[in-house]
Structure 1
Amino acid sequence: MLQLEKKHYIGEGEIRFCYEHPENLNLCIKIPRPETTREYTNKELLYFKKLSRRNTSKYQYPFYSDFHGEVDTNLGLGQVFDLVRDETTGDISKTLEYYLLKSNEIADERLKSALDDLRQHMIKYKVFTRDLRARNICCKLNKDDSVELIIIDGIGHRDFFPFADRFHYFSKKKVDRTFTKWHFDSLEDQRKFLKKIG
Structure 2
Amino acid sequence: MADLIRLSTATPFARGGNRLVYVHPDRPEVCIKLPRADVNLAVKRRRKGLKGRLKPAATFDENRAEARTLTELHGRIGDSLAAFVPRFLGWVETDLGRGVVLELIRDDDGAIATPLKQYVWERGFDERLEAALREFTAYWVRERVPSRELLLHNVVARRTGDGAVRLVVIDGLGNADLLPLSRWSRRLARRKSARKAARLRKRIEDLVRTRAQGGDPGEHGFLRVTD
Give your verdict on TM over 0.5.
Answer: yes
SS in 1 for 2:75: coil
Q: Which runs of 5+ in 1 are unaligned?
A: none
> Conserved in 1, the CA contact under 8 Å of 2:207 and 2:217?
no
Structure 1 match to 2:197: 179
Distance 1:10 1:73 in 2: 16
User: Does 2:91 match 1:70?
Assistant: yes
Q: What's the counterpart of residue 191 of structure 1?
A: 208
Q: Which residue is equivalent to 1:91?
A: 111
The CA deviation at 1:5 is 4.8
Structure 2: runs of 5 or more not aligned: 42-56, 219-227
Are the counterparts in 2 of residues 124 and 168 from structure 1 also a CA contact under 8 Å?
no
**So what's the TM-score if we normalise by structure 1?**
0.84
Q: Which moved more, 1:135-144 or 1:119-128?
A: 119-128
Contact persistence 2:67–2:100 (CA under 8 A): no
Query: Do the aligned partners of residues 15 and 32 (structure 1) sit closer, same or farther apart at CA in structure 2, a change above 3 Å counting?
Result: same
2:66 aligned with 1:44: yes
Aligned length: 193
- In structure 2, the partner of 1:53 is 75
DSSP 3-state at the match of 1:102: helix
CA distance in 1 between counterparts of 2:110 and 2:217 reads 31
Q: Quick one: distance in 2 between partners of 1:143 and 1:71?
A: 32
TM-score (norm 2): 0.74
Structure-to-structure mapping, 1:35-184, within 5 angstroms: 35-37=39-41, 39=58, 40=60, 41=62, 42-59=64-81, 62-87=83-108, 89-103=109-123, 108-180=126-198, 182-184=199-201
RMSD: 2.5
Deviations 1:43-87 (A, max 9, x none): 33332232242352244x620122112211011111111111110
- Asked which structure has the greater CA Rg, the reply is 2
- Tell me if 1:20 matches 2:20: no
Q: Which moved more, 1:110-119 or 1:156-165?
A: 156-165
Q: Please report how far the alpha carbon of residue 23 of structure 1 lies from its aligned counterpart in structure 2 after TM superposition.
A: 1.6
Shift of 1:110: 1.6
Given that residues 63 and 150 in structure 1 are in contact (C-alpha distance below 8 angstroms), is that contact kept between their aligned partners in structure 2? yes
Name the CA distance, whole Å, in 1 between partners of 2:127 and 2:203.
11
